[in-house]
C-alpha cells in the first residue's frame, strides 16, 4: 500500500535540502569573491600608502606597471568607489579611512565643468561615501558637482553636452553638441542632488536628457548609437556616429551596458515605465544577439569584424550584471537575476578574475577602453572592478532579503 504523505514528506525534505545547498553555495560564492577583492585591494592600497603619495590606479601599462591618473581623469572616482564598496561588503572599518582619503583627494572635481563625467567621478566616490556613512560635508560636494554638470545642459536641445566640441579629435569630427550614451550614467548625480537639495532643477535636467536620449539614441533593434550630435540652438539631430565603437552603425558593447544601466537607474528615481521598458528592450538586444558568446562576456563591439577573434570586454559585462541585479528588483521575471548570476559566475572564473598578486592588483582581466584609439586593449580597468563589486553588493543584498 502506498503512503502518499510519507512520499510527500520525503520530497519536501529533498527540496528543502536542495534549497539549503543552493543558498550555501551562493553565500560561499559571495564571500569568496569578497575575500579575493579584499586581498587584491589590500596589496593595491599598501603599495600606494608605502609611496607616501595619493595615487589613483586606472589600468596597467604595456610593461605591466600600474598606470596612475590625475584627479581630472574621468575614471578617477572608480578606485575610491571600489574602496567604499569593499568597506560595505566587509563591514571592516580598516577600509573607512582609506575610502575617505582617496575620495577627498577628488575635492576639486566638484567644480569641473569642461566635461560631463563629473557624474561618474563624484557619484562613485562622494555619493557612495554619503550613502554609507552620511558624512555631512559630502552632501555639499554632491550638490556643487551637480551644479557644475548642469552648466553643460543645452536648453534648446534638451540635453547635457558630453564633450566640448572645439578641441582635439572632437573638433576634427565637426560636432557641435555631441552627446554620448555614457552620459546616461551621470544622471544619477542630478537625481540625488535634487533629493539632497530640494532643487527640482537637477531632476528636470536629468529627465529631459533621458527623454531626448530615448528618442534619438536608439535604433529599431533597440541597440544604441554611441554619439548623437545636436545643433545646440535648434535641437536638431545632425549626426549619429561612434567614437569608441567599430563603426557608426555598429553596437559598441559598453555603450549597450551604459544604456541598460542608465535607464534602469532612471526608473529608480522617476518610476517612469518608459525607462523600465527601454531597459528591458536593451536586455533583449544584448542577450538575443547571435554574436554574444556563450559565457555572456561580450566582444568589445557586437559587430566587430573578426569575431570570434576579437577582444572581450569584462567592463561591459560587469556593468550589465550590476544593472540586471537592480532590474530584477523591479520586475518579477526571474531571467534578469539568472542572467546576472551567470555573468558573475563567469567573471569570477580563472578566465577573467586574476590571481591574487597579479594583474596590477586589479580584480578583473580582459577589458577594452577604446580600440579605435588603440588604448587599453585587453587590460584591467578600474571601472570593470567597480561594477563587479557593485554587482556583488547588490547580489548580497538580494540574497539577504530572500
Mean pLDDT by 10 residues, the chain (402 residues): 51 58 89 98 98 98 97 98 98 98 98 95 98 96 98 98 82 88 98 98 98 98 98 97 97 98 98 98 98 98 98 98 98 93 98 98 98 97 98 95 70
Mark whether 401 and 261 lie in a shared domain. yes
Residue 170 forms part of a structural domain: yes
Mark whether 127 and 92 lie in a shared domain. yes
Q: What is the pLDDT of residue 58?
A: 98
Mark whether 200 and 85 lie in a shared domain. no
Instruction: Report the DSSP beta bridge partners of residue 59.
Output: 67
Note down the domain range covering 336: 24-53+252-402
The answer to whether 365 touches 352, Cβ cutoff 8 Å, is: yes
Q: What is the pLDDT of residue 222?
A: 97
Residue 100 forms part of a structural domain: yes
Residue 61 forms part of a structural domain: no
Mark whether 400 and 298 lie in a shared domain. yes
Mark whether 266 and 398 lie in a shared domain. yes
What are the backbone angles phi and psi of residue 175, rounded to the nearest 5°?
-75, 155
Q: What is the pLDDT of residue 10?
A: 57
Mark whether 283 and 402 lie in a shared domain. yes
Q: What is the pLDDT of residue 286?
A: 98
Mark whether 256 and 402 lie in a shared domain. yes
Residue 7 forms part of a structural domain: no
pTM: 0.94
Residue 263 forms part of a structural domain: yes
* Domain stop point among 107, 125, 151: 151
Mark whether 292 and 202 lie in a shared domain. no
Q: What is the pLDDT of residue 2?
A: 46
Mark whether 165 and 29 lie in a shared domain. no
Q: What is the pLDDT of residue 53?
A: 97
What are the backbone angles phi and psi of residue 289, rounded to the nearest 5°?
-75, 125
Cα 381 to Cα 127, 230, 364: the distances in Å are 21, 31, 8
List the catalytic residues: 117, 182
Q: What is the pLDDT of residue 306?
A: 98
Mark whether 266 and 389 lie in a shared domain. yes
| Strand, coil or helix: 37 | helix
The number of folded domains in the chain is 3
| Strand, coil or helix: 353 | strand
Amino acid at each position: 500500500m502506498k503512503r502518499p504523505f510519507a512520499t510527500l514528506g520525503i520530497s519536501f525534505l529533498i527540496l528543502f535540502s536542495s534549497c539549503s545547498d543552493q543558498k550555501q553555495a551562493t553565500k560561499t560564492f559571495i564571500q569568496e569573491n569578497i575575500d579575493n577583492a579584499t586581498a587584491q585591494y589590500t596589496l593595491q592600497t599598501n603599495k600606494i600608502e608605502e609611496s607616501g603619495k595619493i595615487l589613483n590606479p586606472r589600468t596597467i601599462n604595456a610593461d605591466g606597471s600600474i598606470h596612475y591618473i590625475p584627479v581630472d581623469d574621468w575614471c578617477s572616482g572608480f578606485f575610491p568607489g571600489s574602496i567604499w564598496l569593499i568597506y560595505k561588503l566587509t563591514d571592516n572599518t580598516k577600509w573607512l579611512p582609506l575610502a575617505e582619503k582617496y575620495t577627498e583627494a577628488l575635492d576639486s572635481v566638484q567644480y569641473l565643468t569642461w566635461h560631463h563625467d563629473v557624474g561618474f567621478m563624484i557619484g562613485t566616490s562622494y555619493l557612495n561615501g554619503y550613502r554609507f556613512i552620511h558624512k555631512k560635508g559630502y552632501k555639499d560636494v554632491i550638490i556643487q558637482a551637480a551644479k557644475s554638470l548642469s552648466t553643460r545642459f543645452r536648453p534648446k536641445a534638451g540635453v547635457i553636452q558630453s564633450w566640448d566640441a572645439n578641441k582635439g579629435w572632437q573638433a576634427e569630427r565637426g560636432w557641435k553638441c555631441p552627446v554620448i550614451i555614457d552620459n546616461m550614467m551621470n544622471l544619477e548625480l542630478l537625481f540625488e542632488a535634487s533629493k539632497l537639495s530640494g532643487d527640482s532643477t537637477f531632476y528636470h535636467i536629468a529627465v529631459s536628457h533621458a527623454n531626448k536620449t530615448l528618442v534619438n539614441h536608439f535604433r529599431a533593434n533597440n541597440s544604441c548609437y554611441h554619439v548623437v550630435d545636436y545643433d545646440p540652438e535648434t535641437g536638431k539631430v545632425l549626426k549619429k556616429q561612434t567614437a569608441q565603437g567599430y563603426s557608426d552603425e555598429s553596437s559598441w558593447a559598453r555603450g549597450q551596458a551604459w544604456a541598460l544601466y542608465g535607464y534602469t537607474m532612471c526608473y529608480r528615481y522617476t518610476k517612469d515605465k518608459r525607462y523600465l521598458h527601454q531597459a528591458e528592450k536593451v536586455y533583449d538586444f544584448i542577450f538575443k544577439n547571435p554574436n554574444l558568446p556563450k559565457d555572456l562576456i561580450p566582444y568589445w563591439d557586437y559587430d566587430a569584424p573578426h569575431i570570434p577573434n576579437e577582444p572581450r570586454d569584462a567592463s561591459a559585462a560587469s556593468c550589465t550584471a550590476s544593472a540586471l541585479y537592480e532590474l530584477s528588483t523591479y520586475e518579477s521575471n526571474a531571467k534578469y537575476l539568472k542572467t546576472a548570476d551567470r555573468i558573475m559566475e563567469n567573471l569570477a572564473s580563472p578566465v577573467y578574475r586574476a590571481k591574487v598578486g597579479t594583474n596590477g592588483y586589479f580584480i578583473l582581466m580582459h577589458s577594452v577602453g577604446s580600440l579605435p584609439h588603440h588604448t587599453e586593449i585587453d587590460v584591467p580597468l578600474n571601472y570593470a572592478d567597480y561594477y563587479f563589486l557593485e554587482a556583488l553588493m547588490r547580489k548580497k543584498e538580494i540574497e539577504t532579503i530572500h
